[in-house]
Amino acid sequence: MTAAPKIQGWCPGALRPMQSGDGLLLRAKTTHPRLSAQHAREIASIARDCGNGLVDLSQRAQLQLRGVSEEKLEQAQSRLAALGLLAEDAATESLLNFLVSPFAGAQASALVARLAQSLVKDAALLALPGKFGFLVDDGGALGLSASTMDIRLEAHGDTVAVIADGARARAFLATPETASDVALALARAFLDLRKGREFELRRMRNVVAAFGLEALAEAAALTPTPYESLCRAASAAEIFGALLSRDSGEKGVRAFAGIGAPSGRLRADDLHALAALAEVHGLNELRLTPWRALLLPCADLDVAQNIVEDAAGRGLVIAADDPRLSVIACPGAPECPQAHAPTRDLAEILAPLAARLASKGARLHISGCAKGCASPATAKVTLVATPRGFDLIDDGRASDAPTLRGLGVNEIEDAMKARIALATSKELQCPAH
């Protein structure tokens, strides 16, 4: 029987890096999606000088430096501090978990700053789990409706809807000035309700499921109201390639280049090159996103196209129909000590087949273990590595019961082809009216 994978319950930071199979995993943590070209270039240099030259772009829109050695850790931290990317201490760093829409306007940016300042001043909130986080979306075209964090703040004009994950049909309405107070009241109520069940109730959705939104509202001394979100989920066609910027609201930003990192992985040289392109052709900055992509704001579409062409030559994702976007994969072995097999090479092999799977959501999720760190959502096909091969799960998560067990690569390909053929057959039998 395979031992259950260990749940870490926290994300790496710069002051509390995580030991991985390829050395220390260190996160250059930011609270806002804006990253200057200078900062991006220096992060790439740190990754080369202190790590193994690989940089992961996480689904929380953070850059992670891989393979940092114990001997070079202090140097990496010192250089991040010089960029203003090092928190005062590890406890403070663990609190600052924000996901913000990439073209967030001034109001959303001010909301994040106010929330971050209030968060670190309340000693009681140091008890929040390491993955507890806040999402801020101001309703633009590149929205975060498909992303999840424990507390959402959706800003629309003079109103901010504060929403507990697990209960998105109701919200606590606030003003931009009071929204941070409401969000932190919910965070304190979360801590109160989970006492004695801390490991089981690690996320807001678990507390809402266990006690209900009314109990959370009562503990926070707040009143929820029915709510229908105006925020939307960005599609791949709106993210990748050279695109007009529909609603950045920023002076001079008329277009952007959307560049994807295959399976969230960049080489330091790629990041350095993108920073240089942002300086020469763009507007001197990059935007971090939860879609494992970087957006480079530009003055016009022709400039954005020049950046995209350069990125294509580096093997990066520059189009919504790239088959690699059909696959979600964790780092796998040997980088993750809990993974039973490599995942990234398999992702490359299976991407063309994955693109043919019919699905409105993720098509193929490849996980090195049953935790499914790369995606908590269901996928059309999920492959989970085990000591005896890969288990295949249909329309489920990595933790669900498998349909097939112990598959090798050829058997996986046959199974996926069978599912594609079955779906095609059903479409032919039931033509659209």
Q: How many residues does the chain have?
A: 433
Nearest in space to 318 (alpha carbons), one of 250, 380, 241: 241
In this predicted structure, what is the pLDDT of residue 360? 66
Q: How far is it, in rounded angstroms, from Cα 380 to Cα 25?
A: 30
Domain annotation for the chain: domains and CATH numbers? 104-139+146-226 (3.30.413.10), 236-321 (3.90.480.20), 324-429 (3.30.413.10)
The neighbouring-strand residues paired with 187 are none
Tokens 């740190």, located at residue: 46
Residue 248: is its pLDDT beyond 60? no
pLDDT at 321 over 70: yes
Rounded distance between C-alpha atoms, residue 382 and residue 384, angstroms: 7
Mean pLDDT to the nearest integer, 16-34: 94
**How many degrees, rounded to 5, is the angle at CA 372 between CA 400 and CA 330?**
145
Average pLDDT value for residue range 334-353: 95
pLDDT tens, position by position, 296-314: 999 999 999 999 999 999 9
Residue 26 has phi, psi (to 5 degrees) of -125, 130
Residue 144 sits at φ, ψ, to 5 deg, of -115, 30
Residue reference for tokens 């979600």 = 328
Tell me the pTM.
0.92
Tokens 């710069």 locate to 14
Residue 288 has pLDDT above 80, yes or no: yes
| 171 Cβ contact partners less than 8 Å away, ≥ 6 residues apart | 154, 161, 162, 163, 224, 225, 227
Q: Which of 64, 58, 61 is nearest to 43 (CA)?
A: 64
Q: Tell me: the pLDDT tens digits for 185-243?
A: 999 999 999 999 999 999 999 999 999 999 999 999 999 999 999 899 999 999 999 99
414 HSE (CA, 13 A, CB side): 6
Q: 């919504």: which residue's tokens?
A: 320
Q: What is the per-residue pLDDT for 253?
A: 84
Sheet with strand 151-156: strands edge to edge: 98-100, 134-137, 151-156, 159-164, 170-174, 225-226
Inter-CA distances, 401 with 49, 330, 394, 398, 404, Å: 43, 19, 9, 8, 9
Cα–Cα distances (Å) from 195 to 95, 106, 189, 388, in that order, read 19, 37, 10, 39
What integer is the mean pLDDT of 388-399?
Answer: 96
Scanning 144-227, the segments in alpha helix (DSSP H) are 179-193, 204-211, 213-220
Lay out the sheet containing 362-367: strands in order across. Answer: 327-329, 362-367, 379-386, 389-396, 404-407
The mean pLDDT of 274-286, rounded to a whole number, is: 94
Residue 152 has pLDDT above 60, yes or no: yes
